[in-house]
Amino acid sequence: MTHSNPIIAEMFDAQQFADTGHQLIDLLAAHLKANIAGTSKVLNWKMPSLEDKHWHAPIPQKSTIHPQGLLEKLSQEILPNNLAIHHPHNIGHQVACPLPMSALCDLVASLTNQAMAVYEAGPSATMLERQVVRWLCALINESTWNNAGGVLTSGGAQANLTALLVARQVSTSKANPSSNIWKDGIAQQSALRILASEHAHYSVSRAAGIMGLGTDSVIKIATDKNGKLDLKALQNAHQTCLENQETILAVVANAGCTPTGSIDPLQAIGEYCQAHELWFHVDGAHGASALLSGIHREKLSGIALADSVVWDGHKLMYMPAAVSAVLFKNEQHSYAAFSQDASYLFQGDTHEDEAFNLSYRTLECTKRMMALKLWAAFSLYGTAGMGALVDEAFAKAKTFAEKIQEQSNVELLMKPETNIVCFKYLHDYSNQAQANKHQSDIRQHIIQSGAFHITQVDLHGVIWLRTTLMNPFTTEQDLDELLARVALAAQAVLSMAE
């Protein structure tokens, strides 16, 4: 059937979709192959303020390109000016180079547009999500997490917010059974606190801001020299809160933390939380995927003691962004985040039916069918395949750290526990500010050259160069080349300053 309006007929032309789609897949496959081969720059650096000037065209009133022109624009302008995510020198952010088959599944999610707020707006999407969530809970612990559940959200930041909303509801009603913070707001509450590692992702303090607690309600707990939460500091902070008659909503631990990938002592923190009836939240956005690895799983020992866990798919599960899971040891808790009356959506009168209407438990009303790509990856490659990616990433980080230690012109921050390696260039600096500026300048020099993509992190006033090794195509030679580039960039930056 075709539409009488030619423009609408063209918009929904299945044949055009197929013809352009086949060419698009060929284009993307060639792009993927070239990226992996690393033949071009990892980043085609342009000053954003200058680049922005090219993107001020008036909104088209009529068609300005045909599908062929769209493909040309993609291949000539858009793809070459993106960060080449599958390039072996892309070792900056904790963003996966996605599995191509999962990326294909994302196309399915786009075309079928299952809204997912309620079961009927995405029946198989809902079932896929429930299946994937069950798998992730079983990976945490098959026996103690047998009543667990949760939902998928668009990203770890939103997942952390969702978990902390639950913690807020549960912890305040435990402290005062007649209170309902969701309904009454925070005004009647005593001071509310979140105890979180000083390395907690910024989404934790942002969640506190969003929840109206104020970002100062997050008490930062010191870490040791390996970036792990110091249990004694946690106990002291807890004690101070008790003395001040403050209510602790949650203790937030990292598995692993954003700056260094370090994993907090989950077993000890979990036991402490259990003994003191504190909500234990593990932000495993980055590192929970170690559960997939037979070798590294042990590092997460104690994670099953958590009341809530966040786990990102678009990090070490190699998914296209965004897909994150927020998981609760007691599935019923996941209903505590949002408690809303929306009769146009939710009509079932038995709890059993309502369990299939996922938006009871998510900030999103309409959300993307996120589970398909994860379900497909597990189905195609199994936990063995997914775990192999984690093993590869962690082994590469270890190798890189060893290479850094062998060189006298760079210093390793710490032995990596996961796949994040931080180091700095050594020179005879006159003060810390100069040393910091030099590290930042080295990084800028490297990323603007397009040779590598790396990041930096400020830890207690010291700037370190930061790499996240999760690209399976990064070789030892690439890592040697990075260290050589750092030395060259260091000299170049110094001579420019003279």
Closest CA to 393 of 414, 416, 413, 418: 418
Q: Is 419 in the site for ligand PLP (CB under 6 A)?
A: no
**Of the two residues 149 and 287, which places its CB atom closer to ligand PLP in the complex?**
287
- Encoded amino acid at 20, one letter: T
What is the C-alpha to C-alpha distance for residues 121 and 2, in angstroms, rounded to an integer?
A: 25
Give the pairing of strands 149-153 and 324-328: antiparallel
**Of residues 181 and 390, the one with the C-beta less far from ligand PLP:** 390
d(CA 401, CA 462): 19
Radius of gyration of the chain (CA): 24
Distance in Å, CB of 8 to ligand PLP, minimum: 37
At 374, list the tokens: 């994860």
Report the nearest approach of ligand PLP to the CB of residue 459 (Å).
15
Rounded to a whole number of angstroms, the minimum distance from the CB of residue 389 to ligand PLP is: 17
User: How far is Cα 383 from Cα 142, in angstroms, rounded to an integer?
Assistant: 15
Segment near ligand PLP (CB under 6 A); pick from 43-51, 279-287, 333-341, 430-438: 279-287
Q: Does 201 bind ligand PLP (CB under 6 A)?
A: yes
Q: Is residue 286 a contact residue for ligand PLP (CB under 6 A)?
A: yes
Query: By CB under 6 A, what part of segment 310-329 binds ligand PLP?
Result: 312, 322, 324
Query: Nearest approach, Cβ of 260 to ligand PLP (angstroms)?
Result: 11
With respect to ligand PLP, which residue has the nearer C-beta, 84 or 370?
A: 370
Near ligand PLP by CB under 6 A: residue from 114, 126, 258, 471:
258
Q: Which of 105, 161, 195, 285 binds ligand PLP (CB under 6 A)?
A: 285
Query: In Å, what is the CA distance from 190 to each residue of 14, 61, 161, 175, 181?
Result: 60, 56, 21, 10, 11
Lookup result for tokens 């230690």: 405
As measured in angstroms, the least distance from the Cβ of 310 to ligand PLP is 7
**C-alpha to C-alpha distance for 194 and 251, rounded to whole angstroms:** 6
Indicate the length of the chain as a whole number. Answer: 498
Q: Which stretch binds ligand PLP (CB under 6 A): 62-70, 103-111, 156-164, 422-430?
A: 156-164
The bridge status of strand 420-425 relative to strand 462-468 is antiparallel
* Among 497, 424, 498, CA closest to 461: 424
Decide if residue 246 touches ligand PLP (CB under 6 A). no
Question: Within positions 84 to 103, which residues make up the interface with ligand PLP, using CB under 6 A?
Answer: 94
Tokens 């001071």, located at residue: 191
When asked if residue 270 is in the footprint of ligand PLP (CB under 6 A), the reply is: no
Q: How far apart are CA 61 and CA 38, in angstroms?
A: 40
Among 162, 203, 293, 418, binds ligand PLP (CB under 6 A): 203
- State the first-to-last Cα distance of the chain, in angstroms, to the nearest integer: 71
User: 106 or 312: whose CB is closer to ligand PLP?
Assistant: 312
Q: Which of 122, 149, 150, 155 binds ligand PLP (CB under 6 A)?
A: 155
* Three-class DSSP category at 44: coil
CB of 319 to ligand PLP, least distance (A): 11
Where do contacts with ligand PLP occur on this chain (CB under 6 A)?
94, 155-157, 160, 201, 203, 254, 258, 283, 285-286, 312, 322, 324
